[in-house]
Structure 1
Amino acid sequence: MPTRVVFFLLPKLHLLDLAGPAQVFSTANDLGYGYDLTYVAESAEIVTAQGVPVKAQLEWPELGCADLIVVPGWRSPAFTPTPHMSAMAKHRLRAHHAAGGSVASVCSGADALGAAGLLDGRRCTTHHDLTDELAARYPKAHMVRDVLYVVDDRVITSAGIASGIDLALHLVAAARGAEAAARVARQMVVYARRNGDDRQESAMLRHRGHLSDLAHRVQDIIDSRYADQLRLADLAAGVGVSERTLTRLFTTATGLTPLRYQQLLRLERAEHLISHGTTVEAAARAVGFEDARMLRRLRSRTIPA
């Protein structure tokens, strides 16, 4: 029997919070892994945060313990005073979980699970802009910060927007095997299936909030060639400044020297490979270290700015 996945849609939902995981399960079904998708709401049409109307059915299908309810997130970075859902909807979420089913959320969808009482005593996460608010709203929950998703007793919560894809791929892997999830990811042209404890923000994002055009251009070079041996002189020549000027401007903009930034990218990628079963030695070679000693040193401490 196929696994039924019910998306419970709330007003102002984010399109990608819905479309990302829906695409994963739809693609899995296309590949023969058996998923049946249903979209339910408390009104026949939901207007998304992006202004696109989405049709949904009002009647809930019959669900079994192998089935899944997913609540996509809605307009952030702040929660609404209360989730726009009825007492009956909260009961539906609680009853499905009590009957042995799984319930998941993307981004601010965790608020709906909290309102249904499903976060109490459980580990959970949400978008990094919402973690403090969610923790304050549901003090009995155990907030896990800066991770992609958390699984606790068939309650699965994920971070914002694109992390819904990671969550859905994890659920496909858990139910149908890692090969199935890999096939889905490849079909969707997803670069890599990330683990739940991977950080929400990659180094490429954390150090891109500045307004220095020169630093961004240098980062573009390093991002695309982080495994190569990049000489400071070549980076400086590539953007038309002296090595001293490059170092000064880059450090002012990012808080890191070019070398430290490259090391951070290498370390982050190596950690991802190791978390998926690659040996430290193989991961070191893959990201450009001559041997594993430097990688081990970097893993044992925080890279200073």
Structure 2
Amino acid sequence: MSPLRLGLVGVGKIARDQHVPSIEATSGITLTAAASRSATIEGAANFASLIDMLEGARIDAVALCTPPQVRHALALQALRAGKHVLLEKPPGATLSEMDDLVAAARDAGVTLFATWHSRFAPAVEPARDYLKDKRVLRAVITWKEDVRRWHPGQDWIWEPGGLGVFDPGINALSIATRILPKPFFLTGGTLETPENRQAPIAARLSFTDADGLDLFADFDWRQEGPQTWDIEVELSGGHGLKLSGGGKTLHIDGEKRIDAPDAEYRGIYRHFVDLVASGRSDVDVSPLRHVADAFMLGRRETVAAFHDETAAH
């Protein structure tokens, strides 16, 4: 079977750091073309727009690494052109537009893959397997990082649809929705929004499930120094599980079971190749739904202005 010929749209930090090397390391797919208004990828045919790429390159699939606010229109163009589509997280700016894309992919008979890269961290599936028949009593998500380190000068993340601190926080929610044995839902929360921004810089959320789960999430984009990406789960009988490092390390009852290097995006592209080969799509919007619920139910608090000095460089 010939490798899947991929066109990459949006040549920014995440594309260069993760997508390009992961595509190169994955069999069954090859980076054929790229579309960007201001950047190029060596060894690929480069275009100024997706439309130009669709007209000028022989490709089978498109990976969209643009900000989520513009992704729906681009995905729709690619799907209607008969291309398989991979969406960076979050898959879109709204839940309703995702319904539209699912229908468009079905009508075109092509694959649509809404990626959640943190679900491909090495300890996530083992954690899911361990918890699948357990009664979870309590869980705490602590997801704190430095926005200046990970999104230097990227103003789009502070605009409506950019999600603010939920850009990393949705990674934690993507893991939680994967590993916890029952669906959970929001009961309340607080969103801290800088006075000069449209999106929150911190969020504290409470969730429960049909059995009375006590789930608390603490997201913060102001943490300097070591970064924190932990999920701790308390079970009956004094047992417990901890995922740390964003899903790279797993402890069960205090014993380290897994500590493996990051290969999330390689997992994404392996799964994409398999989806296309089998004629399937994979679109789970539950992490995005939890974020939408937070914006609907969360109490707003205005905090000090945030200024990104890296934007001037």
TM-score range, shorter-chain basis? 0.3 to 0.5
Report the structure, 1 or 2, having the larger helix content. Answer: 1
Report the TM-score, using the length of structure 1 for normalisation.
0.32
Higher strand share: 2
The structure with more radius of gyration: 1
Q: What is the TM-score normalised by the length of structure 2?
A: 0.32
